[in-house]
Amino acid sequence: MLKAVDDVSFHIERGETLGLVGESGCGKTTVGRTITRLYEPTGGAMFFDGVDIFKTHESDLKPFRSKAQMIFQDPYASLNPRMTVGDIIGEPLDIHKLARGQERTDRIFELLDLVGLNREHANRYPHEFS
């Protein structure tokens, strides 16, 4: 059996963000896709809010997936170029029914502010950022 990734371990507290850095081909994407269950793991465990996500049935992963995501380095491969930044940020709010109307707009502005962008950036497209 070929091991793509072996002996990976980390602990992330609530509110923390993890970034995986390494040489091309070292397994960063494989780790991310396995954590989010886009790839099925062949061993180990991954706990989220006390639940082993690797043992959770696919149909029961929605609460986890609403709180965990991968952000790829290449925005052209991961962001829809036909959507504004506001629509991209708002899409998960729509999918998971987290906010609508003015509450949705306010949350988008709040998230933009959190990463140091102003509300005018909501109307820009990904390619307009450097």
Tens digits of per-residue pLDDT, 19-65?
A: 888 888 888 888 988 888 888 888 899 998 889 999 999 888 888 88
User: Is residue 16 in a domain?
Assistant: yes
Residues 8 and 56 in one domain: yes
Model pTM?
A: 0.59
Q: Are residues 82 and 29 in the same domain?
A: no
Is residue 120 classed as helix, strand or coil in its secondary structure?
helix
Asked whether residue 48 falls in the same domain as residue 86, the answer is no
pLDDT category of residue 75 using cuts at 50, 70 and 90: low
* Domain end residue (candidates: 16, 37, 61): 61
Residue 33's domain spans which residues? 1-61
- Residue percentage of the chain with pLDDT more than 90: 38
Closest CA to 45 of 80, 17, 8, 82: 8
Domain co-membership, 2 together with 55? yes
71: in domain: no
- Measured CA to CA, the distance from residue 99 to residue 105 in angstroms comes to 8
Q: How many domains does the chain have?
A: 2
Residue 1 pLDDT: 67
For residues 53 and 104, membership in a common domain is answered with no
Q: Do 98 and 46 lie in a common domain? A: no
* Residue 42 counted as domain residue: yes
Do 46 and 15 share a structural domain? Answer: yes
**Residues 3 and 55 occupy one common structural domain:** yes
Residue 94 in any domain: the answer is: yes
Residue 121 has pLDDT above 80, yes or no: yes
Q: Over the chain, what is the mean pLDDT?
A: 88
Instruction: Assess if residue 92 is contained within a domain.
Output: yes
Which of the listed residues 61, 94, 111 is the one where a domain comes to its end?
A: 61
Phi, psi of 24 (to 5 degrees): -60, 130
Shared domain check, 9 and 53: yes
Distances (CA, A) of 68 to 6, 24, 100, 123: 22, 23, 21, 25
